[in-house]
Chains A and B, each alone.
Chain A
Amino acid sequence: MSFLKFDSLRKEFGDFVAVHDMSLSVERGEFISLLGPSGCGKTTTLQMVAGLLSPTSGKVILDGKDITNTPPNKRGLGIVFQSYALFPHMSALDNVAFGLEMRGVGKAERLERAHNALNQVKLGQFVDRFPKDMSGGQRQRVALARALVIEPPVLLLDEPLSNLDAKLREDMRIELRLLQQDLGVTTILVTHDQEEALSMSDRIVVMQQGDVSQVAAPLDLYERPLNSFVSDFVGKTNILQGKVTDKNVVSVNQIAVSVNTEAHVVGADVALSIRPEKFTMSSDNAGLPVRVKASIFMGASWLYSVESDMGELLVTQPNTGSAGFARGDSAYLAWEEGALTVFGGVQA
């Protein structure tokens, strides 16, 4: 039986439905990300789990118990808020010790445990600092230590890394994931950053306007998106509109592309999706002829925007140490048939 269950959770604000009947089962120790564009209902969902918002209908079940109507102070969940929400009038140590105090832990023990929690997030020497004297990254860690020290059954994270700079964000991703795995704490992370979701989660829930678009492990989600919204939102992709002209042939701007079309009838309008890194770009006269419109060096790779008879395409190629294609160069694109995904209908 799953550890944490959402059963048709629904939240309406007036006549606006922020979260449509959402169901999800989370296993013990699992790291789940709620991923979606701004305003799709991620925070609303998380707050319903936390108990800070009550659902219009539906249930939250934790470890077999219905906690839908349990107030937040009786749920015992660990929450890291988007703004960190530290207590500005308390030192880092007192911030972390607060939850233990509320649980009636004695002073000596709670200070020791708070100290250990701060050590765990590498803030051992900042115990006496006040939040206003800390950097964003340090505050974020205090918030994490404060949530973890109470040893919550579930950790809820609302975009905890979004206020950090790019480098720190990447470091924290790894740290957070390692910590989560060490502690084995069931975690729900809210993010609109697909890279964050892909790199940290066991499973990702992609949300769109209050609906779940797809739930899948990161690799599955990336390689086998269910629709063009997911494929476009998770990672970069090229979406090409075409028509099935024959069995296993889709015509895109009069160019025949061979692809598995078994789910679609001949004559159907379809969309093809192919990720930029699935192309091989070379000057050998084979494949789709293209002209390089823009060439951007990204360090580990090259990013090209190219023009072809199929339309404009984004292409990434690994940096192999030699100069890449330049603007205006002609080149040829090749790809494997399996790299293409077909979606029905004309989708954005």
Chain B
Amino acid sequence: MSTEKTPNTPYLLTAPGVLFFAALLGAPMIMTLLLSLHSYDFNLGVQSDWTFGNYAEVIGDPYFQKIFGRTFGLALWVTVICVAIGVPEAYVLSRLNPRWRSIFLLIVLGPLLISVVVRTLGWALFFGGSGILSMVSQALGFGDEPVSLMFTFTGMTIALVHVLVPFMVISVWASLQKIDPQSEDAAYSLGASKMTVLRRITLPQAMPGILSGSIIVFALTASAFATPAIIGGRRLKVVATAAYDEYLSTLNWPLGAAIAVLLLIANIAIIVSYNKLVERRFAKVFE
């Protein structure tokens, strides 16, 4: 048997995966795209014409503009808070001794083992008007009114941060693992204080992990459905829940499809330009 590689081998080997994705991901996406280009009549249903009307409607309508604004604002906030919590968490984890580290890693990643819906329902119980949060704040004398974070931006942010912070931790953790600990010793011996070492040596080297973690968290928040649906509900819609409502409540499928496509495009545009920025900044330094 010849061991020589044929140039086709890589394509043949990836073919099953490509087919799988094309059939199960590509096809529905293309169908969604096509659907979004039809108009909808409340009496006659989906028409067979071709139009950009749905897009014009979404882009022009202040109602949808607000939803898009809220979604990306939420994504930004959640990302910023995940960085603020996840980076120190990953750093502390990387400094623990191996036995404690595996225990804490399990605690950090444990939530991933529980369904998002279950976890969010937990938050809902916690946030609700007669929930623990409300009882505690009343008991502490912060006010006599029951407090509720249900259907609030803050509530959504907290619940999403809880769901997504493990992704940030894993990503930062991976890049911290790659740092040569001697480079920190070197800075230390050159006269840097421990804080300076952290700021000037460790953090910049962990940057690729922080940046890729941010992309993951941002994208997952912008397209999150379950948590905003439960905590934000109808009162505080995000793009994903708005699209869902168009499909299932209004039954205006083409408009729902247009919203979904716009979300995808916006998400891709933001992530790609962010990535470009990052690459330009760090290409010189890291392979």
A85 near B191: Cβ-Cβ < 8 Å: no
Q: CA of A85 to CA of B205 in the docked complex: distance in angstroms? A: 13
Please state if B285 and A132 are interface contacts (CB–CB under 8 Å): yes
Q: Of A52, A86, A87, A130, which contacts B189 at CB under 8 A?
A: A52
Answer whether residue A83 sits at the interface, using C-beta atoms and an 8 A cutoff: yes
* Number of A residues, CB within 8 Å of B: 27
Interface size on B, residues (CB 8 A): 22
A275 at the interface (CB under 8 A from B): no
Residue of B nearest to A79 (CB): B189
A72 partner, pick from B180, B185, B200, beta carbons under 8 A: B185
What residues of chain B lie closer than 8 Å to A132, measured between beta carbons? 285-287
Does A102 sit within 8 A of B, measured CB to CB? yes
Collect the chain A residues with CB atoms within 8 Å of residue B207's CB. Answer: 89
> Is B26 engaged at the interface, CB distance under 8 Å to the other chain?
no
The smallest beta-carbon distance between A60 and chain B, in angstroms, is 14
The minimal Cβ–Cβ distance linking A51 to chain B, given in whole angstroms, is 7
Q: How far is the CA of A210 from the CA of B286 in the complex (A)?
A: 39
The answer to whether B182 touches A150 (Cβ under 8 A) is: no
CA–CA, A52 and B192, complex, Å: 13
Which residue in B190, B286, B287 is a CB contact (below 8 Å) of A102? B190
Is A20 at the interface (CB under 8 A from chain B)? Answer: no
Closest to B207 in A: A89
Closest to B190 in A: A99
In the complex, what distance in Å separates the CA atom of A71 from the CA atom of B183? Answer: 16
> Residue on A with the closest CB to B184?
A85
Cβ–Cβ contact A102 & B284, under 8 A = no
Bound Cα distance A132, B204 (Å): 15
Instruction: Give the distance in Å from the alpha carbon of A74 to the alpha carbon of B190 in the complex.
Output: 9
* Contact A83–B182 (Cβ < 8 Å): yes
A173 proximal to B (CB < 8 A): no
A130 CA / B283 CA spacing, docked (Å): 11
Contact A51/B285 with A85-B180, A86-B183, A87-B183 known, Cβ cut-off 8 Å: no
For A51, what are the chain B residues with a Cβ–Cβ distance below 8 Å? 189
CB of B186 within 8 Å of the partner chain: yes
- Interface residue from A81, A87, A99 paired with B191 (Cβ < 8 Å): A99
CB neighbours (8 Å) of A130 from chain B are 284-285
Enumerate 5 A-B pairs (CB-CB under 8 Å) in ascending A order.
A51-B189, A75-B189, A79-B189, A87-B205, A88-B183
